């Protein structure tokens, strides 16, 4: 059984290598996840595991991918995207003709491309700024490639599938150049790197599930500061912000929080 000292040393070494501070994650859940991964690879202590990933770049990349939970699909939780398209974005567009949008923790790009599709349909002649960021450079490379399996497109309407995707061999679909060109991808660590400001909409969904309450609170306060007055934060279906009023947000719709004007 790994010791607490082993765990503390692993966290220090891993932070120095990856820039990921495991102190910002719930320790019980994170230790369970990492221990399961270690067991699959026949390692019993955290320091032995660190030594293994340090000398094996392929396994290190696999572990980063495992750690950052890159599960994604287009229009994830479709009913919330309906609210986004029919209520939230029209409200924002009524105040500003050109929006600045940030998809934080974008994984393989399904979320920012979903936003780009909606905005292309709502305002076909306007090029909004859509910034998409993620910690994992492998996921960002996949996002820029823009190729997806059919199961990732299950919530895409037939009309949009035909309009914005090109079928490829092997059951894959490729996002159109029109939509791809609307999204700007960057590597970004939500817990370490500075934030831009002046966003009309920030989308951060299914990213903070293993964060500590302190890390989540700090993150949401930074999102609040990064929004324009009247801007909106959109979070995942299990990520309701219970102290949103303390942060400064006003109630808007379930899982949507607005920065007052």
Burial class (CB in 10 A: 0-12, 13-18, 19+), 238: exposed
Backbone angles phi, psi at 199, to 5 degrees: -85, 140
DSSP single-letter state for residue 211: B
Backbone angles phi, psi at 231, to 5 degrees: -70, 165
Report the 10 Å Cβ neighbour count for 68. Answer: 17
Cβ neighbours of residue 184 closer than 8 Å, sequence gap 6 or more: 129, 130, 131, 132
Cβ neighbours of residue 206 closer than 8 Å, sequence gap 6 or more: 69, 71, 76, 105, 236, 238, 239
210 half-sphere exposure, CB direction, 13 A CA radius: 17
Helix (H, G, I), strand (E, B) or coil at 259: coil
Q: Do the Cβ atoms of 237 and 255 come closer than 8 Å? A: yes
The residues assigned a catalytic role are 33, 134
User: Alpha-carbon dihedral of residues 152, 158, 164, 168, nearest 10 degrees?
Assistant: 60
Q: Do the Cβ atoms of 46 and 10 come closer than 8 Å? A: yes
């Amino acid at each position: 059984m790994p010791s607490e000292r082993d765990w503390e040393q692993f966290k220090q070494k891993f932070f120095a290598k990856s820039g990921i501070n495991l102190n910002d994650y719930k320790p019980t859940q994170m230790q369970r996840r990492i221990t399961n991964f270690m067991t699959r690879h026949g390692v019993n202590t955290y320091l032995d595991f660190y030594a293994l990933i340090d000398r094996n770049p392929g396994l290190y990349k696999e572990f980063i991918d495992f750690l950052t939970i890159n599960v994604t699909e287009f229009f994830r939780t479709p009913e919330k995207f309906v609210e986004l398209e029919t209520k939230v974005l029209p409200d924002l567009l009524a105040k500003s003709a050109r929006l600045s949008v940030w998809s934080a923790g974008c994984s393989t790009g399904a979320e920012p491309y979903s936003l780009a599709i909606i905005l292309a349909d709502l305002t076909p002649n306007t090029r909004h700024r859509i910034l998409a960021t993620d910690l994992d450079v492998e996921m960002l490379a996949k996002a820029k490639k823009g190729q997806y399996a059919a199961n990732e497109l299950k919530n895409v309407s037939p009309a949009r599938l035909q309009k914005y995707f090109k079928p490829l061999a092997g059951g894959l679909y490729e996002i159109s150049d029109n939509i791809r060109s609307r999204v700007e991808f960057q590597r970004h660590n939500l817990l370490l790197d500075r934030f831009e400001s002046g966003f009309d909409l920030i989308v951060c969904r299914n990213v903070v599930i293993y964060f500590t309450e302190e890390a989540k609170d700090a993150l949401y306060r930074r999102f609040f500061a990064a929004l324009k007055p009247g801007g909106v934060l959109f979070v995942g279906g299990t990520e309701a912000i219970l102290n949103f009023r303390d942060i400064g947000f006003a109630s808007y719709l379930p899982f949507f929080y607005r920065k007052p004007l």
